[in-house]
């Protein structure tokens, strides 16, 4: 599509730029022996007509692009186009003069036309060259925008691929932990193992329902985390307790799907499971100043503890970096006998 005609806001300024060019042409015709009235009536319509004719410079510019075509091809193509445009313009100028001579005010103007032919021809070539330069600039601008858009699209595709890979990493990690827990109950408590299998099936059905969704409301994410903790409660009984403290306004904020999953898994595996009396897994969320803060806390054994290979936290860090860049952060550490993980992301509503 033509870069000027494709945008409504470009044609007006383009035509307005030709008005002073028409004034300059009128001045040249005045020097050639015409009165100001005759020069103005002749020059302004010709300038407007040539403005539209020069829009066709886009096609030679496209056929001989500066970056791809040789210098000789560019010069020959543009000189041929400039010559043809100027000759056609001269023919239109002669036709316009013949018409104007029908009026007494323009009697004898045609006799002066041979003296201005060279001037009109030179002006036509120069004006076409300016129009061609403008079109080359517009083509370069459009190519730069297209390249930028393609780069952004590639970045989005790469980010989505990374997110899918990280999301896929969660599933086997979670299944390994869940099946390992079920296997530990099969011999000692078959009824609980059966209940845990049923709960696991419901959890998987609900998580698979999300499909390829990248973000979900925080309220739904917390419910999924609580469902997982409900599965683990079958194994741990009263040793596992859950507290939820989520602001009403935070529940509608968008968060990565299953972002809490590895955090509550770690809380159970490296916290509750290591304590004889168990403890409380606390999930909290606050929304303030355009930022959403998520926190998962669990008690840990006193003294040095082994937190495993860190797959869950590493996964969460990478997902937040892919989605939010520098706007997302993960802080984890001990605070006395409590291990706390805090996620901070922009508080944005779920996209429609």
Instruction: Look at residue 167 in the predicted model and tell me its pLDDT.
Output: 56
16 pLDDT more than 80: yes
In a domain, 2, yes or no: no
How far is 341 from 312, CA to CA, in rounded Å?
11
If asked whether residues 278 and 218 sit together in one domain, one would say yes
Range of the domain at 197: 189-346
How far is 263 from 340, CA to CA, in rounded Å?
10
161 pLDDT more than 80: no
If asked whether residues 57 and 205 sit together in one domain, one would say no
Average pLDDT over residues 157-163: 57
Q: Are 323 and 256 in contact (CB under 8 A)?
A: yes
Q: Are strands 240-246 and 279-288 parallel, antiparallel or unpaired?
A: parallel
If asked whether residues 201 and 141 sit together in one domain, one would say no
If asked whether residues 20 and 144 sit together in one domain, one would say yes
Average pLDDT over residues 339-348: 93
Q: Are 230 and 179 in contact (CB under 8 A)?
A: no
| Strands of 240-246's sheet in order across | 240-246, 279-288, 291-299, 338-346, 329-335
pLDDT in tens, 208-226: 776 567 788 999 889 888 8
How far is 201 from 207, CA to CA, in rounded Å?
10
199 pLDDT more than 60: yes
Q: What is the mean pLDDT of the chain?
A: 83
Instruction: Look at residue 272 in the predicted model and tell me its pLDDT.
Output: 92
In a domain, 296, yes or no: yes
If asked whether residues 341 and 215 sit together in one domain, one would say yes
If asked whether residues 333 and 196 sit together in one domain, one would say yes
If asked whether residues 264 and 319 sit together in one domain, one would say yes
Average pLDDT over residues 149-155: 74
Instruction: Look at residue 309 in the predicted model and tell me its pLDDT.
Output: 45
Instruction: Please tell me the pTM assigned to this model.
Output: 0.53
Last residue of a domain, one of 151, 176, 208: 151
305 pLDDT more than 60: no
In a domain, 243, yes or no: yes
In a domain, 180, yes or no: no
Last residue of a domain, one of 151, 179, 209: 151
143 pLDDT more than 80: yes
In a domain, 135, yes or no: yes
How far is 23 from 38, CA to CA, in rounded Å?
12
In a domain, 179, yes or no: no
Query: pLDDT confidence of 237, banded at 50, 70, 90?
Result: confident
In a domain, 299, yes or no: yes
Report the percentage of the chain scoring pLDDT > 90.
Answer: 16
Reference 133, options 141, 149, 120, 9; nearest CA is 141
How many domains in the chain? Answer: 2
pLDDT in tens, 19-28: 888 888 888 8
If asked whether residues 207 and 95 sit together in one domain, one would say no
Residues whose CB is less than 8 angstroms from the CB of residue 194 and which lie 6 or more positions away in sequence, other chains included: none
In a domain, 351, yes or no: no
Last residue of a domain, one of 151, 175, 198: 151
């Amino acid at each position: 599509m033509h870069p000027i005609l494709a945008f409504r806001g470009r044609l007006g300024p383009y035509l307005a730029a030709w008005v002073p060019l028409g004034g300059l042409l009128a001045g040249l015709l005045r020097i050639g022996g015409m009165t100001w009235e005759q020069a103005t009536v002749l020059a302004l319509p010709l300038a407007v007509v040539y403005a539209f004719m020069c829009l066709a410079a886009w096609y030679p510019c496209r056929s001989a692009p500066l970056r791809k075509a040789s210098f000789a091809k560019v010069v020959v193509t543009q000189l041929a186009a400039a010559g043809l445009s100027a000759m056609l313009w001269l023919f239109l100028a002669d036709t316009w003069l013949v018409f104007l001579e029908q009026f007494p005010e323009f009697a004898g103007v045609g006799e002066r036309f041979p003296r201005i032919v060279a001037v009109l021809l030179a002006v036509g070539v120069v004006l076409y060259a300016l129009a061609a330069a403008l079109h080359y600039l517009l083509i370069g601008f459009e190519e730069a925008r297209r390249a930028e858009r393609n780069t952004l699209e590639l970045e989005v595709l790469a980010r989505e691929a990374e997110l899918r890979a990280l999301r896929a990493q969660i599933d086997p990690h979670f299944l390994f932990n869940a099946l390992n827990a079920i296997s530990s109950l099969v011999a000692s408590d078959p009824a609980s193992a059966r209940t845990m299998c049923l709960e696991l099936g419901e959890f998987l059905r609900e998580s698979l329902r999300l499909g390829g969704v990248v973000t979900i409301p925080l309220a739904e994410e917390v419910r999924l985390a609580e469902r997982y903790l409900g599965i683990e409660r079958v194994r741990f009984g009263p040793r596992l307790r859950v507290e939820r403290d989520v602001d009403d306004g935070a529940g509608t904020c968008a968060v990565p799907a299953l972002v809490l999953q590895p955090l509550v898994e770690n809380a159970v595996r490296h916290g509750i499971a290591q304590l004889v009396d168990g403890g409380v897994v606390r999930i909290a969320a606050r929304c303030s100043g355009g930022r959403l803060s998520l926190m998962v806390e669990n008690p840990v054994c006193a003294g040095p503890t082994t937190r495993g290979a860190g797959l869950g936290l590493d996964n969460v860090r990478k997902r937040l970096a892919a989605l939010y860049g520098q706007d997302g952060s993960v802080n984890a550490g001990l605070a006395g006998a409590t291990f706390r993980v805090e996620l901070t992301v922009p508080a944005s509503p779920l996209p429609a």
